[in-house]
């Protein structure tokens, strides 16, 4: 196994493949936050691609840890040319089937970023949304993402801060009290603060260009909104100069 993934994490998300597209299933929180994530990425990607976040034609985007394709489809619907990459074979199969049913042309591949980087692939933007808190080696993962990004491009990450509040809401609350996520989805010790992520990104040749918090509105699994509050969920754009 390569440095950025473990068999246990791959198997955990592969087992959810059949339920990934159920908006009331175990991936309901991802369905709820996905419009915010995709809109945020599109807004920060648009200036280099015509200025309209709703029309990203010509932009090449890699979605690392794409699962069954929630974010990949979101960016493809905005006109981007999307490649989806995941190490979980059942998730990739579900992604391909759903994209075909929706008439979307997305290039889904099974594998890990270091494998694709070895092929010399480069993209305008690389996304890894709700992924970095699951990888075995964050430094190696960030270096692989940077290597897949063309100079002047952007790496987009969304993840969870390691705070008392994130333990209460994203771990204990979401998995054990409200049961919004399957138990064992997250390991709080693997959450990463913005300061830690910024320092690790710099060592990988990336710099923080923008950061926002993401917070749910109203009922559990309701819509999410952008916020200055990064204590639990946040999304960040990392520029590759």
Binding-site members for S-adenosyl-L-methionine are: 37, 65, 86, 129
78/57 Cα distance (integer angstroms): 8
Question: What does DSSP assign to residue 81?
Answer: E
38/107 Cα distance (integer angstroms): 18
214/168 Cα distance (integer angstroms): 16
- Where is the binding site, in residues? 37, 65, 86, 129
58/82 Cα distance (integer angstroms): 10
Specify burial of residue 199 (Cβ count, 10 A radius: 0-12, 13-18, 19+): exposed
């Amino acid at each position: 196994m390569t440095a950025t993934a473990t068999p246990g994490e791959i198997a955990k998300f592969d087992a959810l493949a059949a339920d990934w597209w159920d908006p009331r299933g175990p991936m309901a929180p991802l369905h709820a936050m996905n419009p915010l994530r995709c809109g945020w990425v599109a807004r920060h990607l648009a200036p280099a691609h015509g200025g309209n976040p709703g029309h990203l034609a010509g932009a090449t985007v890699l979605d690392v840890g794409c699962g069954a394709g929630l974010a990949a489809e979101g960016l493809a619907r905005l006109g981007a040319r999307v490649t989806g990459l995941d190490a979980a074979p059942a998730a990739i199969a579900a992604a391909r089937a759903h994209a075909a049913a929706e008439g979307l042309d997305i290039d889904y591949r099974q594998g890990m970023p270091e494998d694709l980087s070895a092929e010399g692939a480069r993209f305008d933007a690389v996304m890894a949304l709700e992924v970095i808190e699951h990888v075995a080696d964050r430094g190696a993962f960030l270096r692989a993402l940077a290597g897949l990004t063309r100079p002047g491009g952007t790496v987009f990450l969304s993840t969870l801060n390691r705070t008392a509040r994130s333990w209460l809401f994203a771990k204990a609350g979401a998995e054990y009290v409200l049961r919004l996520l399957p138990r064992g989805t997250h390991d709080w010790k693997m959450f990463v603060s913005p300061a830690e992520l910024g320092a690790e990104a710099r060592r990988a040749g990336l710099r923080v260009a923008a950061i926002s918090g993401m917070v749910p509105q109203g009922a559990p699994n309701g819509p999410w909104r952008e916020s200055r509050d990064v204590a639990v969920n946040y999304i960040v754009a990392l520029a590759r100069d």
